Structure 1
Amino acid sequence: MKNAQLTNTALRSFAIAGFCLLVSIVAAAQAAPDAPVYLLREYMKVEPGMEEEYLKVEHLWKKVHQRRKDEGKILNWNLSRSSFYGTNADYDYMTVTAFKSGKELEEAQNMTWEYITKGMSPEEIALANSTGKTRKMVSSSLSYQLLRSQSNAENRFIKITQVKAAAGKGVELEKAEAMMKPVFDEAGKMGAISGWRFGEHLYPRSAEGANYYRIESTNTMADMLTHECSGYLEKAFKKVYPTKDFAATMKSIRDLITLLDVELFERVDSTK
C-alpha cells in the first residue's frame, strides 16, 4: 500500500511538472518576437512630365511583386508618394519591399529579366523596358524592423521620423521603445493611429546619420494632422501604465535621441 501511494504521488508530481512545462512552452511561444523583417527602401525622382507614365510602370511592377509575394520570395511591397516637397526635392516616391531574411534579399538582387517578364504581353514588356526613362533611382537603404504595432485600419498616411541615438544609448533606446509598444497597441485600439513601427538602419550608416527610425501611420490626413495635438499618446499611456509619470517618461526617451528628420508619405499602391 505504501509503495502504491508513493507511486501515485510520483505520478501526480510528474503530471504536474509536465503540465507546468507545457504551460511554459506555450507561454514562451506566445511571447516570442515577430519574425524578422528587413525593409529595402528605394527612392525615386520622376522625370519631368512623366508622372502618369511612371505610375503605369509601377502598376506593372506591382504585378511582378505580387507574384514574388505569392511565391514566398518577399513579404510585401508598397509604393508611397512624398506628401510635401519642393521643385528641388531629391525624390518624389518611395517603394518599400519587405524580406524575411538575407537569402530572399540576395535572390531579389539576382532576379532575371526572364522571371520579371514572365506572362507579360509584348506591350507590357515594352512598358517594363521604359522604367528607366520615367524615373531616376536616387538612393536606397536597408533597415531592420525591431518592433511593430498594427491595427486593422489602413496605413494610408505614413510619418517617418529619423533619429540618432545618443552615444552608447542604442540598447537603452530599444528598451524604451519596447516599453512603449503596448502604448501604441492601445492607441491603435482607440483609433488614434493605424500602425506604429520602430527599427534600426543597417545600410547606409554613418556616425552623422540616423541609426533608428519610427513610423506612425493613419488612415486619413485629418487623423494624421489632429492626432499630434489630441493628447492620444498620454491617454493611451495612462491606460497601460496608470502609475507611471507620462511627462517624465517622454523626457527620458527624448534625452536618448537627436531628432534628424520627419517626412510624410501617402500610400499609393501595395501588394495584397
Structure 2
Amino acid sequence: MKKLFMIMTIALFSTMAIAQDSEPLYLLFEFMHVDEGQGDAYAETEAFWEKVHVQRVKNGDCIGWDLWSLQPSGQKQGAQFMTVSLYNDPVKMMSGGDFNKAWTDAYPNLSDSESNAKMEMTAKSRDLTHRVFLVEIDKTKDDFDMPLGTLAIINFMKAKPGKSGAYEKMESEVFKKYHQSDVDSGGRANWGLLRNMLGYPTEAYATHITVDMFTGYDQFFNGSNNGPVNEEQQKAYQEMNELRDLKSVTHGTLVRKVR
C-alpha cells in the first residue's frame, strides 16, 4: 500500500510538472526611443517605474518585467531600449491590469502634483515607438534564470504568406535540436520561439521572433554555436529561407528585472 501511494504521488507531481511546463507564456515587447541628452532622465524614469512593476507582480497583474538595452543604439537606428512584460494570461496582457493600484501601492505618499510630474517626466524622457504582443510557442529545456547582464540575440522573422505553420514546424522539429545541443554543451543559455499574436503575415513587420540567450558576449563569441555548419544544417537553412525572411537582428542586454 505504501509503495502504491508513492507511485501515485510521483505520478501526480509528474502530471503537475507537465501541466506547468505546458502553460503558455505571453510577452509584451515595448520599444523605446530616447532622444539625445535624455539618457539620464530615462534611467531615472525606469528606476521609478520598476517599483510599480514590483507591485504589479505582487498584485497578480503580471508575472515579471524586464528592461533591455539594445544594440545598435544610434539616434537613427531605432529603439535603444525595450521593456518586456510577462504574463500567464492573454487577457491580463491585453488589459494591463490595475496600474493605479500598483502606483498607489508603490508610492502611497506621492501627492497628485508629484504624480503628474512623474508622468510628465516619463513622457519627456522617451518615445514609445511600438508594441508587439507575443506568445511563446517553443523553447529549449534548460534551467537558465536570466540574471542581469544576460545577452539576448533577437531575430525578427516574417513567415512567407501561407507558410507560418510550416515555418514553426521547421523551427521546432529541425532547428530546435541544434539549439538544444548548444545549450547542453554550454554554447548558449536558452532559445525560444515567439509568435506575433496580432500581426498578419502580409502586414506585420515580423510574424515571429526567435531569441537566443547567452550569459554574455564571451559565451556568444566562444560558444559551440559558432562552429562549422555541416551538410545537414546547410540544407536545413536553404529550406528555411523558402519559408521565412529574416528582417533584422537586435542585441539586447538585460539591465533591470522584476520577478
Range of TM-score over shorter length: 0.7 to 0.9
Residue 40 in 1 paired to residue 10 in 2?
no
RMSD: 3.2
Task: Give 1:71's aligned amino acid.
Answer: N
Q: 2:239 aligns with which of 246, 252, 267?
A: 252
**Aligned CA distance change for structure 1 residues 154 and 98 (closer, same or farther; 3 Å):** closer
| Alignment match of 1:145 (pick from 126, 133, 136) | 136
Offset from partner CA, 1:148-184 (integer Å, 9 cap, x none): 2244363611111111223322212222222233442
For residue 63 of structure 2, what is the aligned residue in structure 1? 75
**Cα distance, 1:107–1:260 mapped onto 2, change above 3 Å:** closer
Per the alignment, residue 262 of structure 1 pairs with: 249
Q: State the partner residue of 1:221.
A: 217
Which residue number in structure 2 is paired with residue 101 of structure 1?
A: 89
Q: For 1:163, give the aligned amino acid.
A: M
1:117 to partner: Cα distance: 3.0
Which has the higher mean CA deviation after the structures are superposed, 27-36 or 168-177?
Answer: 27-36
Comparing 224-233 with 132-141, greater Cα deviation is found at: 224-233
| 3-state SS in 2 of match to 1:137 | strand
Distance of 1:26 and 1:164 partners within structure 2:
39
Query: Which residue of structure 1 aligns with residue 122 of structure 2?
Result: 131
Question: Which residue of structure 2 lines up, in the alignment, with residue 163 of structure 1?
Answer: 157
Question: Which residue does 1:154 correspond to in 2?
Answer: 146
The aligned residue for residue 6 of structure 1 is none
Instruction: Please give the TM-score of this superposition, normalised by the length of structure 2.
Output: 0.79
- Identify which of 142, 165, 178 aligns with 2:172: 178
Q: 1:211 maps to which residue?
A: 207
- Matched residue, 1:51: 39
Q: SS of the residue aligned with 2:168?
A: helix
| Larger Rg over CA atoms | 1
Q: Distance in 2 between matches of 1:85 and 1:200?
A: 25
Please tell me whether the aligned partners of residues 31 and 81 of structure 2 are also in contact (alpha carbons under 8 angstroms): yes
2:12 and 2:143 map into 1 onto residues whose CA distance is 27
| Structure 2 counterpart of 1:178, one-letter code | S
142-151 or 260-269: which moved more? Answer: 142-151
Identity among equivalent positions (%) equals 20
Equivalent position amino acid for 2:208 in 1? Y
Matched, 1:192 2:148: no
TM-score by length of 1: 0.76
Structure 1 residues 38 and 119: CA distance shift in structure 2, 3 A? closer
C-alpha contact 1:158 1:216 (8 A) present in aligned 2: yes
**CA distance in 1: counterparts of 2:94 and 2:133, whole angstroms:** 12
